[in-house]
Amino acid sequence: MDASINMNSVTISVEGMTCNSCVWTIEKHIGSVNGVHHVKVSLEEKSATIIYDSKLQTPKTLQEAIDDMGFDAILHNPNPLP
Amino acid sequence: MPKHEFSVDMTCEGCAEAVSRVLNKLGGVQFSVDLPSKKVCIDSEHSVDTLLATLNKTGKAVSYVGPK
C-alpha cells in the first residue's frame, strides 16, 4: 500500500432525511465519490460519518457533495482530531 | 414555458424535499412534485438534459416521461 494515503474521518450532520431510502441513497452516492473509503449514515442521529483520503477530499467537499444531493449538511467540526 | 414530466423514484417526504432543493438551486424552474405517483412536473426554459442532470444529483432513479 502507498504510505502517502492519509485516512481521515469526519462526521457531518445531515438534516432532511426521513426514511431509510434517504439513508441508502446518501450512502450509495457518497460512497462512490472519489477518495471516500467508507460511509455510515445514521437516521436516528441525523449524521453521516465518512472515512476518506484527505488527499482527495476535505470535510468541506464532502459536505458540499451531500448538500448537492438536496440535503442540509452541516459541518460542526471542520478540523476533527486524528 | 415548456413543461416536462419526469419520473423520479421518490419514496418519502424527505426524497421529495431533496428533489425540491436541487431544483431550487438550479433556479429558473417552476415545478410540482407528486409523491404518490413519483412524478415531477417541471416548467422551465432549461433543456431536458440539464433538468435530468439536476434530478440525477439526488442519486435517485430518474427518467424522462415526456413533454406535457
**CATH code, domain carrying B43:** 3.30.70.100
What CA–CA distance (Å, rounded) separates A35 from A9? 12
pLDDT digits (tens, 9 = 90+) for A23-73: 989 999 999 999 999 999 999 999 999 999 999 999 999 999 999 999 999
Å between B51 CA and nearest CA of chain A: 14
**Domain housing B44:** 3-67
pLDDT band at B26 (very low <50, low <70, confident <90, very high): very high
- Residue pointed to by grid coordinates 431510502: A21
The predicted pLDDT at position A78 comes to: 52
What CA–CA distance (Å, rounded) separates A44 from B24? 27
B24 touching chain A per CB within 8 A: no
The yes/no answer to whether this complex scores an ipTM above 0.85 is: no
Is B40 strand, coil or helix? strand
Q: Is the pLDDT of residue A80 over 80?
A: no
pLDDT digits (tens, 9 = 90+) for B53-63: 999 999 899 99
CB contact under 8 A, B18 and A21: no
Q: Are A62 and A30 in contact (CB under 8 A)?
A: yes
CA distances from A29 to A15, A65, B9 (A): 16, 9, 15
The predicted pLDDT at position A6 comes to: 85
pLDDT band at B51 (very low <50, low <70, confident <90, very high): very high
Q: Which residues touch A62 (CB under 8 Å, ≥6 apart)?
A: A10, A12, A30, A33, A36, A50, A52
CB contact under 8 A, B18 and A18: no
Q: How many domains does chain B have?
A: 1
> What are the chain B neighbours of A68 within 8 Å (beta carbons)?
22, 57
What CA–CA distance (Å, rounded) separates B68 from B60? 22
Q: Quick one: cell of B63?
A: 427518467
Q: Which of A16, A25, A68 sits opposite B17 (nearest CB)?
A: A16
Residue of B nearest to A73 (CA): B18
Name the amino acid, one letter, at B64. Answer: Y
Residue of B nearest to A67 (CA): B22
The predicted pLDDT at position A34 comes to: 94
Q: Is the pLDDT of residue A11 over 90?
A: yes
Q: Is the pLDDT of residue B16 over 60?
A: yes
